[in-house]
Each structure stands twice: as C-alpha cells, then as structure tokens.
Amino acid sequence: MPTGEPDGYLFVSQQEHLVAQARLDGFTLSRLQPYHDGQTFLNQARELWQSYVAAAHPFAVKRLAMRNVNRIEMPLGTEIQRYILTCPEIARALPQEMLNFFLNIVIPDAASGAIAAINQTFAQADPERSVIPLIFDVEASREVKMDTDSAEIWEVLAQLRVLKNRIFFRSLTVEALERYR
C-alpha cells in the first residue's frame, strides 16, 4: 500500500562516477565510465554499505550480485559472431539479416553456488557513425543469509566478480576484446 513516503534515495557523485541507490529493500552501487579496477570499486562499495547500514538498519543480507552492462559498438552490417561467441542463429532458409534480438540465458555455477544471467540485445543503431551497439549484460548473483556486518559479504562479492569476469572474457571474440584494451 503506497504511503506517499519515498522508497529510497538516489545519490550521484559525478567526481567519482558513482551512483548509489539506498532503498527500503536494498542497496545498489553503480560505477559509470571511465571504469577502474574492481578492488577500488569493492572498497568504495564497502564504505558506502557501512553508511547505508548505519542509516537504514537492514536486518540481514539475502542476495548479493555483481553486474556489468557493456556496450560494444559494431560496424553496421557486421555479423554478430565476429564479436560474441553465444548468439542467436537464424534458420538457413530464412533471410539472414537481423534487425534486433533479445537473448536471455541463466546458467548455474556449481563451484560458487551462484547463478549468472546473460542478456544480449542491440541498442539503437547510429547510422551517422555507421555502428550498432551490442548490449552485453552479465550479472552473477547468489542467494545468501548473512548479517549486515559479515566479512563474508565481501568474499562472496569477490567470487561473483570473478564469475562475472570469466563469463565476459570467455563470451567475446578476440576482435571484440581488442576494443577494451
């Protein structure tokens, strides 16, 4: 039942390129471009998490996740297989041009007890620059039952980061990865 009260707050640090969401049902921290190393991000997340816990007094942690939403610009007319290794295949008897698609794959990772959700689609093409952006979204998550001050939170997030990165680097072709060097 709506109360008229806010469900949360959005904080933006343009200098740090961070966006934090503090909600009644959780906390999310996002890093915008330019990116930096994952350990710096985890350190920032830990500091902001402590502030969130002090203000919101959550009871427990039920879910942890690490996510990257990547935008890979491909030249218009390029076959998607030149950039990504898992992609839709059109039946050979049909026209082979693909204007858009949405692919969602959820895979378990038995070693960590996590799951990974992989989403792919095209964003709006830019005919002036002759590119079409491939959106490659990877989220690794795990259901947990932890106290809000548990050191295990940061261990699990580090494991999820490794899983997310493994999926990213093993899903793209050498040509696509060259764009990240």
Residues 166-181 have pLDDT tens digits of 999 999 999 998 876 6
Alpha carbon distance 82, 175 (integer Å): 7
Distance of CA 171 to the CA centre of its chain: 14
The pLDDT, as a whole number, for residue 180 is 66
Average pLDDT over residues 18-27: 90
Model confidence pLDDT, tens digit, residues 124-133: 999 899 999 9
In percent, how much of the chain has pLDDT > 70? 97
Angle, CA 168 vertex, CA 121 and CA 33 arms, to 5°: 75
**Residue 161 confidence class, pLDDT cut points 50, 70, 90:** very high
pTM for this model (two decimals): 0.88
* Model confidence at 1: pLDDT above 70: no
Could you check whether the bond before residue 75 is cis, i.e. omega within 30 degrees of 0? no
